[in-house]
Amino acid sequence: MKRVAHHTARWTLSLVFLTLVVIAIVTGAARISLPFVGAYRADIQDYLSQYLGNPVEIGSLELSWRGFGPRLVLEDVILVSGAEQAQDVHLHKILLDVNLLSSWMQDSWQINEMSIVGANLSVEYLGNNKYRVYGRQIDGASSNEATNLDVLGWLMQADMVALLESRVRFIYRQKSIDLEARELNIRAQNNSGLHRIRIDAAIPALSPDVLNVAMDFSGDRQQLLDSNGSFTAALSGADLQALSGLLPSLAPISVSGSAGLELFGKWSDESLQHLRVISRLSAFEVANKTTLKRWSSAG
């Protein structure tokens, strides 16, 4: 019995030692190759262009180390719109955590995690459930020729993706809606047919506090409209007058005050199946401009 235990311990130690040696060799070889990463600029640009479905230009390229694997750091990245230069999407940084072993074995870039930092985007609603996503354009410029960037597609491509420290401008010209979300962070985890998205952002025009959204759903990555899922959203100190401006016209009724809002919902088959709203009103007032009648409730 002692001999069996001795041999087992010996083989275990040998296996651990061999594993450490392999890790050391792989790590050392990768570290030695760090200065030569610039030679792969064209390959990396081609990979990103295919991944994001849009031509990509990289300003600077570096390789750092994270745990046992390398991380590509791409700075001053431009997603070329193909239209006006003002509509190009400028990204401060893209971080790519590389699966080194898989990349070597498959002779192609294999990414475990992608983080897009400092994006500057405009999302325009065109009506009839159609949207256009493009780089932030000059105020008043036409967006008819802008390339539609598939941001949702980016978030669904890899197992772990993040859009961090970004700004997004939401536009609906027909309703004169123009909102900006700042310090926007979106984190997505995709595991087979299960998806999890977490969002937090500051929208100064609506509230001084941070909006938090959580979405969990299942479905094919390429058929998200057919997915089934649930969501929650929370926003404190919401300006009711500003929020009412996003809804269909209530004229001659006007609403003012602030509220803490929580929403819970479920959807399936392209339609909302359940919605629950919890609100905490403060200094709430409803006024009819025609009859000059008012109703208020000091919270």
145 has a pLDDT exceeding 90: no
Mean pLDDT value of segment 166-187: 90
Phi, psi of 234 (to 5 degrees): -140, 135
Per DSSP, 144 falls in state T
Name the token pair of 52.
Answer: 């994001």
Compute the average pLDDT of residues 116-126: 86
Say what the pTM is: 0.75
Q: What is the pLDDT of residue 105?
A: 77
Q: Tens digit of pLDDT for each residue in 55-65?
A: 888 988 888 77
CA 186 to CA 115: how far, in whole Å?
A: 10
Provide the 3-class DSSP secondary structure of residue 287.
strand
- Token pair recorded at residue 284: 């709430």
Question: For residue 86, what pLDDT band results from cuts at 50, 70 and 90?
Answer: low
Q: Give Cβ neighbours of residue 190 (< 8 Å, ≥ 6 apart).
A: 156, 158, 159, 160, 161, 196, 221
CA angle 118/152/249 to nearest 5° reads 95
Average pLDDT, the chain: 78
**pLDDT winner (highest mean) among 19-33, 35-49, 68-82, 251-265:** 251-265
Q: Which is higher by pLDDT, 36 or 76?
A: 76
**Predicted confidence (pLDDT) per residue in 215-247, tens digit:** 999 887 666 667 889 999 999 999 988 888 887
